[in-house]
A and B are shown apart, each in its own frame.
Chain A
Amino acid sequence: MFDVGDINSFYLDIFKEIGNIGAGNAATSLSKLINKKVNMEVPRVKTLNFYEVPEIMGGAEKEVVGVYVEISEDIRGCMLLLMSQHSAEILLKELMAFNNISSGSFTELELSALEEIANILLGAYLSAIGTLTDLRIKYSVPSLAIDMAGAILSVPIIKIGQMGDKVLFIETDLLFKNNSIRVNIFLIPEYDSFDLMLEALGVE
């Protein structure tokens, strides 16, 4: 059985590849949405102790826009899409429907547009993983929060924290506008889902 606390480079590469395939599909979707080239960074796979997570993710008090979905069926866990307020504003502008984004606070319509963008990107990510592994993945309606990064990250941390002391993140960044705008996508599977994914990929 795969042990989250004892991840070696072999597993690391497999999880990075999962991030690559999922985020690659999300990048394509984003590119179609905004009609611009979208770049993708090499995925990062991190196993962290819970109390380290907010700091390593760039500071617990940093204000971010977060969209959370729960995933269920064969692969269980959650996904989180994080971006800065500024990135969210630019993203809305790029969609062209929003010309006058008020800086600092979003309207209801803008918030639901951000939720919908997240829905499309996370859906694209998960559908690629589903095809790759031939596993069923269902995901919830997305929910958005604008708050401190630590507070937003507490939700996936607590979800995984019910099972153990470490949390494994597969993190990939999508970039556009000369890489000035960044959208972080996290896949955070539950412990038992790792074995299932590895098995589906033919890894003993």
Chain B
Amino acid sequence: MKVAKNPHLLTTLGLGSCVGIALYDRENKIGGLAHIMLPYSNEFKNNSNPLKFADTAVEKLLYKMKEAGSNIEKLTGKIAGGARMFNFKNGGNDILRIGDRNVLAAKEVLKSFDIPLISEDTGGTYGRSIVFHLDDGKVVIKTVGRGIKTI
């Protein structure tokens, strides 16, 4: 989890089923980027690490952004990731659908904090790297063999 101010960039590399949650404060040009692995902390017994879960990670990210001088009432959100990296012919089990669950949780959590989700690049069967630009809030997504996309 990282928080920075323009002209810095925030990156997270090789996201698979994990989801990158990018929050942007346009006024102060401050951004925060969380990289979550699992949906809700209360769904798991061992949940002592807040950075792993969508709900606790966003909460912590908001706290850190506030500390960095951000107006957290006016944030916007973008998310990327949540792929299904491996497909099984017989449908597969829960863990292979975790990407979808992570995306859903990320969206619900943003909504619960009244942070509008303005764009996303989620799902699919491929990995993504994220570069989050803090001058204008754009999120550039790199893939293997599927080009570069800006959301």
Which positions in A face B, CB cutoff 8 Å? 50-51, 54, 60-61, 63, 66, 68, 70, 140-141, 143-155, 157-159, 161-165
Complex contacts, A153 vs chain B, CB 8 Å: 14, 16
Supposing A147-B85, A151-B15, A154-B17 touch, asked if A161 and B48 sit within 8 A by C-beta, the answer is no
Cα A68 to Cα B17 with chains together (Å): 14
Chain B binding site: helix, strand, loop or mixed by DSSP? loop
Q: Name the segment of B69-77, B90-98, B104-112, B113-121 touching the other chain.
A: B90-98
Across the interface, do B126 and A151 meet the contact criterion of CB distance under 8 Å?
yes
Across the interface, do B98 and A148 meet the contact criterion of CB distance under 8 Å?
no
Supposing A61-B14, A153-B16, A161-B38 touch, asked if A141 and B89 sit within 8 A by C-beta, the answer is yes
Complex contacts, B61 vs chain A, CB 8 Å: none
Cα A162 to Cα B86 with chains together (Å): 18
Across the interface, do B144 and A146 meet the contact criterion of CB distance under 8 Å?
yes
Complex contacts, B15 vs chain A, CB 8 Å: 150-151, 154
Chain A binding site: helix, strand, loop or mixed by DSSP? mixed
Q: Tell me how far the C-beta of B102 lies from the nearest C-beta in chain A, rounded to whole angstroms.
A: 9
> By the criterion of a CB under 8 Å from any partner CB, how many residues of chain B are at the interface?
34
Of all chain A residues, the one with the shortest Cβ separation from B128 is A151
Across the interface, do A154 and B144 meet the contact criterion of CB distance under 8 Å?
no
Cα A188 to Cα B50 with chains together (Å): 23
Our pick among B52, B125, B144 for the contact of A148 (Cβ within 8 Å) is B144
The 3 closest A-B pairs by CB, nearest first: A150-B14, A151-B127, A154-B16
Looking at A61, A66, A147, which has the most chain B CB atoms within 10 Å of its CB? A147
Cα A148 to Cα B144 with chains together (Å): 7
Residues in B127-144 with C-beta less than 8 Å from chain A: 127-129, 142, 144
Instruction: Let me know if B13 is at the binding interface, CB within 8 A.
Output: yes
Our pick among A50, A70, A152, A162 for the contact of B85 (Cβ within 8 Å) is A152
Across the interface, do A163 and B83 meet the contact criterion of CB distance under 8 Å?
no
Instruction: Let me know if B23 is at the binding interface, CB within 8 A.
Output: no
Across the interface, do B14 and A162 meet the contact criterion of CB distance under 8 Å?
no
What are 10 A-B contacts with C-beta separation under 8 Å? Answer: A50-B37, A60-B129, A143-B88, A146-B144, A151-B14, A152-B16, A155-B16, A157-B37, A163-B45, A165-B52
Across the interface, do B13 and A148 meet the contact criterion of CB distance under 8 Å?
yes
Of all chain A residues, the one with the shortest Cβ separation from B43 is A162
